[in-house]
Amino acid sequence: MIARENSQDSGSFYEESGRYRGLLSWLFTTDHKRIGILYLISVLSFFAAGVVLGLLMRLNLIDPGRFISERTYNSLFTVHGVIQIFLFIIPAIPTTLGNFFLPLLIGARDVAFPRINLLSWWLFILGGLIVVLSVFTGGGAPDTGWTFYAPYSIRTTSNVSLALFGVFILGFSSILTGLNFVTTIHRLRAPGMKWFRMPLFVWSLYATAWTQILATPILAIAVLLLVLERMFGIGFFDPTKGGDPILFEHLFWIYSHPAVYIMILPAMGVVTEIFPVFARKTVFGYKAIAFSSLAIAFFGYLVWGHHMFTSGMSDTSRIIFSLITFLVAVPSGVKVFNWIATLYKGSIEVYSPLLFSLTFIFLFSIGGLTGLINGTLSLNLYIHGTYFIVAHFHYTMFGGAGFGFFAGLHYWFPKMFGRMYNERAAKTACFIMFIGFNLLYFSMFVLGLQGMPRRYFQYLPQFRTNHIISTIGSWIFVAGLLIMFGNLIWSLRKGKKAPNNPWGGKTLEWQTSSPPPRENFEEIPVITHGPYKFD
Amino acid sequence: MEKTETVHAVHARDIEGAKMGMWVFLFTEMLLFGGLFLLYSVYRSKYTADFHRSAAELDIVLGTMNTVILLTSSLTMVLSISALRKGHRGLSSLFQGMTILLAIIFLVNKYFEWSAHIHQGIYPDSPVLLAMKRGDIIFFSLYFVMTGIHGLHVLIGAGVIAGTLVFTTQGKLGPDNFVMLENTGLYWHFVDIIWIYLFPLFYLIV
Amino acid sequence: MSTEQETQLTATRYRRYVYVWLSLIVLTSLTVSVARLHLTHYAILIAILIATTKAGIVVTFFMHLKNEPLILKLMLFVALLAFTLIALLTFSDVWYR
């Protein structure tokens, strides 16, 4: 037996088995697990770039103009938004943890369309590269904000068209993933795995996939029309030609609001997997959680106007959108209640996946509750376009979806890589990140209520203190991030070998080896009960 | 090796799954065009009189001809699938070829239509167009964008059918391997349906 | 319905498809004729109705949806519902400004 240098056991999916060798065996793989790893590397690389841009923004804001010019600042927040949204948080959980674990969780050998899965990843890389290219070519990085509102996005000489083309391609990557997951869940469940015996992460991926399918095309047409507007002057969003800029906002947000549910639903699914395991207790209210995922996807599709309350829409529509926005909070609240009830009287062991999940509940709840404040029409008129909004969406997208992603990474790390990470380092990182996160973003709630507008390069003196607190928070937070990723990366090679089921989980992925073999299971299991049987 | 073959066999056998994937893809196309139709209806309600007047500039004869052409191409497409499933590869190839031919005629007609307008100076951002009323500008911009994107889909569809035609003549498609043609048909019928809506909205409301 | 059964059925359908095509042609001539009447207010409604009938015929017969499992029909309904709701909400803005 030749001792292998890397950690992977013989028989794992890391072993080469197909036509290609080495790097090519990764770039041309159709194995969902390898594709998940490819996405993981890509997504985290873009995340790192986005974090750097965020740090630069915060650097400017402790002393505006000292390090960074106004024009550069506009591009910083634009590209930061485009990268973190389209290249990190929207794809993150579905393409990494979703791709890796969906087939395992339902007892399948792969997704329904493995080659389309690979195409999704190639399109992701292509779109990402085009976006990066747009930063360094043409008239300079886009400076419109990631929302690309007309008419400025039509008139600006910055490299908007190329960036939008990149976003267009990324949209197709997302659509193909959604299409693949819906078909996989319908067609490839193991014998005996009825719908209500599926793990709840799968339910969340299902709801997410439908949102990807039904919302992303609207973004595609919105950005396509904007590019046509810039290239051919068609006039749909140009008032001088009879167009209406608010229609662009409608098309843009018809996608971009459901997009936030693409971000959060999988994260909610991840923590729903984690809580029963670390409370040694079945999930409270399985059906309520399953249906609330669908309800969030459905209602989330109908609230986009709350991003446009001050744009000039009719009063009628603003009242309707505000009402539906309140309704969408209900299923989210149901989930939080069920998670707490799952933990209640459970036999709790606080490992890092649980710690990240608890942090998720705390941060997401703050985000969610402030979302209700934003959704209140009368209040929105006052806080729209201020730092209050910036704080809200960072709490939900980053504190929520982001920390859900980190929780999932820690929970499933042993399965994906066959190694354990250092538990103390993980908890330390979580703690430091929690402190840094709240300093970084809670100060923004205060700033927003005091009247500090968002996307502003500089500000009045009274806002200085909170900006300094926020920037220091960003440094503390990044220190925590570095510890967390340092721990995980170090553990890839040096971590203890992981057993098949380090956490005592009951879902199917824990019944196969860590890492799993190429075909996932020796034999496809026959399912006779639900996924969280802990007695 | 045997295990890998089993996996591939499983994938090849799931006809329902393949069709489901195609239908889901068509939903995305439906939403894509839906966005355009939504813009159209918003602007129509805003510029009703201008839209009525500008629509009269379009050639209703050419439009009707193109509608009949596409409907017939849908017929030939679905007949090609039936033929293939009965094992008549030759007949299926014939019908596929007819579908491609009809698609080309459609595109040629479109070319003539567009040329006529461009010759008159009517195209996006043209001085002639910009001198017209706001509703006219939007109408013609919508016309070019919507029929343009639709035409692109016709072109792509024709290309894909050319591919299935090659596979059919090579014997790669047959009664026990027809899903590719079935899915191509689904795409083609969708393209037909888009035109079914485009036709009255641009040519008939005068 | 099994794949073999379906094959049998679709295979004998040449004539039926031609009849379907004929009905589509008839509806096309209908919609053109109605347009000549210049009904202004109702013109667009009638045109959309006829177009939707034609689209429904294409979906049901040419796209074989009639013989497909219920789940596909449900999915189509969901997609159409999504688009309808988007349109209605957008118009709640545009019409009431």
Q: Which of A95-109, A460-474, A519-533 has the lowest mean pLDDT?
A: A519-533
DSSP string, A379-443: HHHHHTTBHHHHHHHIIIIIIIIIHHHHHHHHHHHHHHHSB---HHHHHHHHHHHHHHHHHHHHH
Q: Which of A12-21, A104-113, A500-509, C77-86 has the lowest mean pLDDT?
A: A12-21
The answer to whether B23 and B111 have CB atoms below 8 angstroms apart is no
What pLDDT score was predicted for residue B127?
A: 94
| Percent over 70 (pLDDT), chain A | 98
Distances (CA, A) of A354 to A93, A95, A498, B61, B194: 17, 22, 18, 69, 50
Rounded to the nearest angstrom, the minimum Cα separation between A254 and chain C is: 8
Dihedral Cα C84, A86, A296, A336, nearest 10 deg: -170
State in Å, rounded, how far the first CA of chain B is from the last one. Answer: 66
Mean pLDDT, range C31-52, rounded to an integer:
89
**pLDDT above 90 for A499:** yes
Phi and psi of B71, rounded to 5°? -60, -40
Segment A132-153, tens digit of pLDDT: 999 999 889 999 999 999 999 9
Contacts of C75 (CB under 8 A, 6+ apart): B20, B23, B24, B27
The answer to whether A215 and B52 have CB atoms below 8 angstroms apart is no
The answer to whether A301 and C82 have CB atoms below 8 angstroms apart is yes
The answer to whether B200 and B66 have CB atoms below 8 angstroms apart is no
Enter the pTM of the model: 0.95
H-helix or E-strand containing A455? none
**pLDDT above 70 for A498:** yes
pLDDT band at C3; cut points 50, 70, 90: low
Residue with tokens 């045997």: B2
DSSP string, A190-246: PTT--GGGS-HHHHHHHHHHHHHHHHHHHHHHHHHHHHHHHHH---TT-GGGT--HH
The answer to whether A466 and A446 have CB atoms below 8 angstroms apart is yes
Mean pLDDT of chain A: 95
What pLDDT score was predicted for residue C38?
A: 80
- Asked if CATH classification 3.40.50.300 holds for the domain at B2-204, the reply, yes or no, is no
Interface of A with B in 146-205 (CB under 8 A): 175, 178-180, 182-183, 186-188
Distance CA A232, CA A333 (A): 47
Question: What are residue B174's DSSP bridge partners?
Answer: B177
Distance CA B185, CA B76 (A): 10
pLDDT band at A350; cut points 50, 70, 90: very high
What pLDDT score was predicted for residue B6?
A: 40
What pLDDT score was predicted for residue C7?
A: 53
Distance CA A154, CA A230 (A): 5
H-helix or E-strand containing A491? helix A464-494
**pLDDT above 50 for A430:** yes
Distance CA B100, CA A29 (A): 35
Distances (CA, A) of A125 to A27, A133, A216, A508, B62: 11, 12, 18, 31, 43
Residue with tokens 């004998």: C12
Count Cβ–Cβ pairs < 8 Å, chain A vs chain C.
Answer: 39
| Cβ-defined contact of B197 to C11 (cutoff 8 Å) | no
Distance CA B44, CA C47 (A): 14
pLDDT band at B1; cut points 50, 70, 90: very low
pLDDT band at B4; cut points 50, 70, 90: very low
What pLDDT score was predicted for residue C1?
A: 52
Give the A-side interface with C, CB within 8 Å.
Answer: 186, 210, 214, 218, 246, 250, 254, 301-302, 304-305, 312-317, 320-321
- SS3 state of residue A211: helix
B196 touches chain C (CB under 8 A): yes
- SS3 state of residue A497: strand
| Percent over 90 (pLDDT), chain A | 95
What pLDDT score was predicted for residue C5?
A: 62
**CB atoms near residue A41 (< 10 Å):** 11
Interface of B with C in 19-58 (CB under 8 A): 19-20, 23-24, 27, 30-31, 34, 38, 41-42, 44-46, 52
Segment B91-146, tens digit of pLDDT: 999 999 999 999 999 999 999 999 999 999 999 999 999 999 999 999 999 999 99
Mean pLDDT, range A119-139, rounded to an integer:
96
Token reading at A55: 């740090």
What pLDDT score was predicted for residue B68?
A: 98
- SS3 state of residue A127: helix
Distance CA A167, CA A169 (A): 5
Question: What are residue A497's DSSP bridge partners?
Answer: A419
| Cβ-defined contact of B20 to A182 (cutoff 8 Å) | yes
The answer to whether A261 and A255 have CB atoms below 8 angstroms apart is no
The answer to whether B161 and B184 have CB atoms below 8 angstroms apart is yes
Token reading at A389: 């909004």
CA B166 to chain centre: 21
Residue of B nearest to C21 (CA): B75
What pLDDT score was predicted for residue B10?
A: 45
The answer to whether A125 and A39 have CB atoms below 8 angstroms apart is no
Segment B157-184, tens digit of pLDDT: 999 999 999 999 999 999 999 999 999 9
What pLDDT score was predicted for residue A2?
A: 34
Token reading at C27: 């509806």
Higher pLDDT, A3 or B34: B34
Closest among A298, A360, A357, A361 to A333, alpha carbons compared:
A361
Contacts of A376 (CB under 8 A, 6+ apart): A322
At residue C10, what is the residue type? T
Question: What are residue A453's DSSP bridge partners?
Answer: A386
Number of C-alpha atoms within 13 angstroms, CB side, residue B117?
A: 21
Number of C-alpha atoms within 13 angstroms, CB side, residue B191?
A: 31
**pLDDT above 70 for A6:** no
**pLDDT above 50 for A5:** no
The answer to whether A189 and A106 have CB atoms below 8 angstroms apart is yes
Mean pLDDT, range A6-13, rounded to an integer:
61
B193 touches chain C (CB under 8 A): yes
Among C31, C58, C72, the residue with its CB nearest the CB of B204 is C31
The interface pTM score, or ipTM, of the predicted complex is 0.94
Segment B7-48, tens digit of pLDDT: 444 445 689 999 999 999 999 999 999 999 999 999 999 999
Token reading at C56: 């429904």
Distances (CA, A) of A184 to A213, A318, B20: 14, 38, 10
Residue with tokens 């794949």: C3
Distance CA A344, CA A159 (A): 53
The answer to whether A370 and A445 have CB atoms below 8 angstroms apart is yes
Contacts of B30 (CB under 8 A, 6+ apart): A217, B190, C79, C80, C83
Distance CA A489, CA A129 (A): 24
pLDDT band at A11; cut points 50, 70, 90: confident
**Subunits touching A (CB < 8 Å, at least 3 pairs)?**
B, C
Q: Which residues of A touch C85 (CB under 8 A)?
A: 301-302
| Cβ-defined contact of B192 to C58 (cutoff 8 Å) | yes
Distance CA A325, CA A304 (A): 9
Distance CA B30, CA B33 (A): 5
**pLDDT above 60 for A474:** yes
Number of C-alpha atoms within 13 angstroms, CB side, residue B112?
A: 11
What pLDDT score was predicted for residue B13?
A: 67
Q: Is A270 exposed, middle or buried (0-12, 13-18, 19+ CB in 10 A)?
A: buried
Interface of C with B in 23-52 (CB under 8 A): 24-25, 28, 31-32, 35, 38, 40, 43-44, 47-48, 50-51
**pLDDT above 80 for B76:** yes
A238 touches chain B (CB under 8 A): no
**pLDDT above 50 for A22:** yes
Token reading at B200: 């009255």
Q: Which residues of B touch C20 (CB under 8 A)?
A: 75
Q: Is A54 exposed, middle or buried (0-12, 13-18, 19+ CB in 10 A)?
A: buried
Residue of B nearest to C10 (CA): B82
Question: What are residue A386's DSSP bridge partners?
Answer: A453
Among C48, C79, C90, the residue with its CB nearest the CB of B30 is C79
Token reading at A124: 């992701």
Q: With left for phi above 0 and alpha for psi between -120 and 50, is residue A451 left, alpha or beta?
A: left
Mean pLDDT of chain C: 89
Closest among A279, A433, A278, A269 to A344, alpha carbons compared:
A279
| Cβ-defined contact of A254 to C86 (cutoff 8 Å) | yes
What pLDDT score was predicted for residue C2?
A: 60
**pLDDT above 80 for B2:** no
Distance CA B12, CA A474 (A): 51
**pLDDT above 80 for A347:** yes
Distances (CA, A) of A279 to A275, A424, B40: 6, 20, 54
Architecture of domain A29-511: Up-down Bundle (1.20)
Segment A82-102, tens digit of pLDDT: 999 999 999 999 999 999 999
Axis crossing angle, helix C14-36 with helix C43-57, rounded to the nearest 10: 170
pLDDT band at C65; cut points 50, 70, 90: very high
Token reading at A56: 């630069």
Residue with tokens 């343009």: B148
- SS3 state of residue A266: helix
The answer to whether C74 and C37 have CB atoms below 8 angstroms apart is no
| Cβ-defined contact of C90 to B38 (cutoff 8 Å) | yes
Token reading at B3: 């295990």
